[in-house]
Structure 1
Amino acid sequence: MTAPSDAPPALTTGATTTGATATAATTAHPTTTGVDRTPRRAGRRPRLVAVDAARGLALIGMIAVHILPAHDPETFAPTVQWTLFGGRAAALFALLAGLSLAFSSGGRTPHRGRELTATRAGLVVRALLIAAVGLGINELMPSPAPALGILVYYGAFFLLAVPLLGLRRRSLAAGAAVLAVAGPLLVHTLGPALPQPAAVNPTLGSLAADPGAFLAQVLLTGTYPAVPYLSYLCAGLLLGRLDLHEVQVQVRIVLVGVLLALGAWFTYWLLVLQAGGYDQLMRHTPWLNEDQIDEILIWGPSPDLPTSTWWWLLTAGPHSNTPVTLLMDLGTGLAVLGAFLLLARANPLWTTLGAMGGRTLTLYSAHLLALATTVHYDHPVPWFAVHLAVAAGFAVLWQKWFGQGPLERAVAAAVRGTRRLVLGGRPRPAATTQARPPR
């Protein structure tokens, strides 16, 4: 069984600083304390290298899921990499995407007025460019596709997030909760009636042939449907409105994440595995035998989650995009991010992870293009090592010599130009002046 593709990290090309005045990162490099101590303008908060490091870890997990086996060939049990990263990496990436959007839209004090309009216009441009990169890569993918790319979906995430940039914390918290439930409900009720996509990856060809099916796939029926995934972006935006440098905030993020993940898993365990839910799945989905249902619960739907009964919305399979899965994976992402923020205070291991996490659009795009050669099928372990070594080496050296990754630099330039047009060429306020282009 081919494992579903996991998402790339937060491809926002946004910043990883926080605070009332922080909207962009400086040219800093990671330090052993997890924050950048490079001198900066007064009032600017230190760079949160731990956020980049979390992206880097997620990228490693994505590469592992794409290349390494999802099950043991002898026991057919899930492998360690699938258990750790299957589906969960996508949630972490989307969460970090929302976090970066918060940083680039004012941090703890959201932009207002014309500044907010300029930020929104820049986000639209960023979304369209990332989606265009994804469409181009998908055109080069062979059939069957070796990976299910997320870049086109990311473009939709960001477009849907445009009206969210000015919301306050309570509205973002409510939005995350509502979307985690309403998004899967929409997929469950509307999915069977929507046109089916022509390809597993959205392409220019599928867009031209059937725009309705293309939009349905990107918004509701695809592997990373934008409407349910918007709950992760709302949660990330909420995090970006907090002071992530405070230890108390970091500890609360970990605790909330652990409780949310355990609570969602317990709901699935109690209602599906103990209280008769599994029998309801068998009863209302007679075309699937017990082994096939177990495959969905362990490896996720292929391609779509059945809609024969509402009990399917209580399952927790990877990429099933049910309320239980969304909340469980959101909790896992929060716990990982909070742990990284805490550990970064005394752990010097962030240099490579941070460099990779700061150039994820470039690295993920190159990773997909390499997968298109399909050589990893016969040599998964060596090919995984090559991907990992090349990504780490490129990220560290490019950061040292050039700063932003090449694709990140191109997107950032377009975003800056758009902002200048909206602002009428006026200089930005001192509190939001950027020392370098956002990543």
Structure 2
Amino acid sequence: MTSRNPARAPRATAARRTQGRLYGIDAARGIALLGMMATHLLPTFESNADLTPTWIGLAFSGRAAALFAVLAGVGLALSTGKEKPLEGGSLAAARRGVALRAVVIAAVGLSLGNLEVNVAVILVHYAVLFLCILPFLGMGLKPLCAWAAGWILGSPVLAYLLRPWLLAAEPPLQLGHNPGWEDLATPGRLLADVFLTGYYPVFQWMSYLLVGLVIGRLALGKALVPVLLLLAGTVVAAAAKALGVTAMESWGGRAALEAVLNAPGYPLDSVLQVNLTGIRQEGSWWWLASAAPHSGTSLDLLHTSGVAAAVIGACLLLERLGEWIDLDLLLPLRGPGAMTLTLYTLHVWVLSGFYLKPLPAGWTEDGMYFAHAATAIIVGTAFVLLKWRGPLEWLGHAATRLGRGQLRLPGLG
């Protein structure tokens, strides 16, 4: 008759959780996916005439996409050694795998770019971020923290200086649409848009992947780390947003920017709360004092990174709670979070079918969002329970294994 030592059971459970897949990370991806769907399908302003922010705009705009990017960095850290980064040949193989996976993501993104759709598709920028982060994959926690801090503080200033020069070119080095295959014929314009003048400027968004690498290099299996992520992320997010609002409303920032815009009646206060995309941030250094979503300023990067860290911490804590009560609390979120590339691609493809068309009879914007979200949850949950990969996830995984030398193509040895 064997006996069990109850004092050792929690330790064994923690070991299994650390060695296996972190469901909290998948759940955070699910939140990012559902949040991005919300900003695509639901209004972020009350109407075109009344630009009063909706709760969707206030809650998700800028934050959902940033969470998606931070989680990319977390995933890369987890796949390249976790707390102890890979070295030597293993690191080189991992970099090749990430690069080939980026090629797959870029191909999907460029294909979606050829669709007529009123959505800013993130995948090409996402793929370029994967390539740009390759030199940092072998770094430990301390140098990554230094790089992340420096990038958050420095990249917005350099972008502010470079953007006007790129936009002053003839024609302007900006696409004005999602990157597609035909844009490869004008590489200078494509690269300028992807890195600096487009909707998701890679130059500043590198900050998110660096923050994600920092989070992924932490000992996420330890009990206190998720608590620290939740608390520190909340404090940083609140402080950055408060400083930005104070700069705009109490220190004269918004008045200075309204003078630069010279557009009487323009609701800059509402735009600063929801989305600064489309406004040429030039002519005043006050633009850099904003914490507006999609402004790409240091305060915006800090706020959205803090929100991402807090969400990740909360999801990891819910994972722990679920283990404690023996209930998978995160299943409805981690299902879609485990196959975001496939579900995001399907979401954009379906949206293209409604471009410049009215919704079907009897449908509302709320109903359309519920349909997309429910489909993502049901399909994702089914794939997780069946232990299947999504089709595009399978392709990306195969590309990663090929790059690492773990998969051989027919005829290649």
TM-score category of the 2 structures, normalised to the smaller one: 0.7 to 0.9
Of the candidates 187, 205, 229, which is equivalent to residue 211 of structure 1? 187
- Larger deviation: 269-278 or 84-93? 269-278
Of the candidates 282, 305, 325, which is equivalent to residue 307 of structure 1? 282
Alignment of 1:218-367 (within 5 A): 218-283=194-259, 285-347=260-322, 348-367=328-347
Alignment of 1:29-428 (within 5 A): 45-73=19-47, 76-139=51-114, 141-142=115-116, 145-194=117-166, 195-208=172-185, 210-283=186-259, 285-347=260-322, 348-374=328-354, 378=359, 379-420=364-405
Q: What CA distance in whole angstroms lies between the structure 2 residues aligned with 1:225 and 1:204?
A: 19
Change in CA separation of 1:360 and 1:346 when aligned onto 2, cut-off 3 Å: same
Change in CA separation of 1:305 and 1:335 when aligned onto 2, cut-off 3 Å: farther
Change in CA separation of 1:169 and 1:377 when aligned onto 2, cut-off 3 Å: farther
Change in CA separation of 1:367 and 1:37 when aligned onto 2, cut-off 3 Å: farther
TM-score, normalized by length of structure 2? 0.87
Q: CA deviation at 1:343?
A: 2.3
Q: CA deviation at 1:366?
A: 0.5
Measured against aligned partners, the alpha-carbon deviations of 1:76-112 in whole angstroms (never above 9, x if no partner) come to: 4222222111110111111111000001111111100
Q: CA deviation at 1:270?
A: 2.3
Q: What CA distance in whole angstroms lies between the structure 2 residues aligned with 1:305 and 1:179?
A: 22
AA paired with 1:175?
W
Contact 1:176 1:231 (8 Å CA) reproduced: yes
Change in CA separation of 1:372 and 1:335 when aligned onto 2, cut-off 3 Å: same
Change in CA separation of 1:256 and 1:111 when aligned onto 2, cut-off 3 Å: same
Change in CA separation of 1:132 and 1:44 when aligned onto 2, cut-off 3 Å: same
- Name the residue aligned to 2:5: none
Q: What CA distance in whole angstroms lies between the structure 1 residues aligned with 2:358 and 2:80?
A: 42
Q: What CA distance in whole angstroms lies between the structure 2 residues aligned with 1:138 and 1:192?
A: 25
- Name the residue aligned to 1:435: none
Contact 1:399 1:405 (8 Å CA) reproduced: no
Q: CA deviation at 1:282?
A: 2.5
Q: CA deviation at 1:335?
A: 1.0
Q: CA deviation at 1:336?
A: 1.1
Give unmatched runs, 5+ long, in structure 2.
1-11, 167-171, 323-327, 409-413
Contact 1:146 1:374 (8 Å CA) reproduced: no
Contact 2:244 2:291 (8 Å CA) reproduced: yes
Measured against aligned partners, the alpha-carbon deviations of 1:240-276 in whole angstroms (never above 9, x if no partner) come to: 1111122211111112111211221122122221012
Q: What CA distance in whole angstroms lies between the structure 2 residues aligned with 1:44 and 1:263?
A: 32
- Larger deviation: 232-241 or 369-378? 369-378
Q: What CA distance in whole angstroms lies between the structure 2 residues aligned with 1:420 and 1:207?
A: 29
Contact 2:125 2:194 (8 Å CA) reproduced: yes
Q: CA deviation at 1:192?
A: 1.2
Q: What CA distance in whole angstroms lies between the structure 2 residues aligned with 1:44 and 1:253?
A: 17
| Coordinate RMSD, CA, aligned | 2.4
Structure number with higher helix proportion: 2
Give unmatched runs, 5+ long, in structure 1.
1-35, 424-439
Change in CA separation of 1:157 and 1:167 when aligned onto 2, cut-off 3 Å: same
Q: What CA distance in whole angstroms lies between the structure 2 residues aligned with 1:245 and 1:62?
A: 28
Contact 1:91 1:329 (8 Å CA) reproduced: yes
Q: What CA distance in whole angstroms lies between the structure 1 residues aligned with 2:318 and 2:377?
A: 21
Contact 1:102 1:241 (8 Å CA) reproduced: yes
Q: What CA distance in whole angstroms lies between the structure 1 residues aligned with 2:192 and 2:381?
A: 39
User: 3-state DSSP class of the match of 1:420?
Assistant: coil
Contact 1:221 1:304 (8 Å CA) reproduced: no
Change in CA separation of 1:206 and 1:47 when aligned onto 2, cut-off 3 Å: closer
Change in CA separation of 1:57 and 1:118 when aligned onto 2, cut-off 3 Å: same
Q: CA deviation at 1:421?
A: 7.2
Q: What CA distance in whole angstroms lies between the structure 2 residues aligned with 1:292 and 1:79?
A: 14
Measured against aligned partners, the alpha-carbon deviations of 1:343-395 in whole angstroms (never above 9, x if no partner) come to: 22224421121111000010001111011012685331221121112211211
AA paired with 1:67?
L
Contact 2:28 2:333 (8 Å CA) reproduced: yes
Contact 2:58 2:274 (8 Å CA) reproduced: no
AA paired with 2:337?
G
Change in CA separation of 1:396 and 1:203 when aligned onto 2, cut-off 3 Å: same
Measured against aligned partners, the alpha-carbon deviations of 1:49-70 in whole angstroms (never above 9, x if no partner) come to: 1111111111111111100111
- Name the residue aligned to 1:10: none
CA radius of gyration, larger in = 2
Contact 1:54 1:354 (8 Å CA) reproduced: yes
| Number of aligned residues | 382
Q: What CA distance in whole angstroms lies between the structure 2 residues aligned with 1:395 and 1:422?
A: 26
Q: What CA distance in whole angstroms lies between the structure 1 residues aligned with 2:407 and 2:376?
A: 36
Contact 2:176 2:198 (8 Å CA) reproduced: no
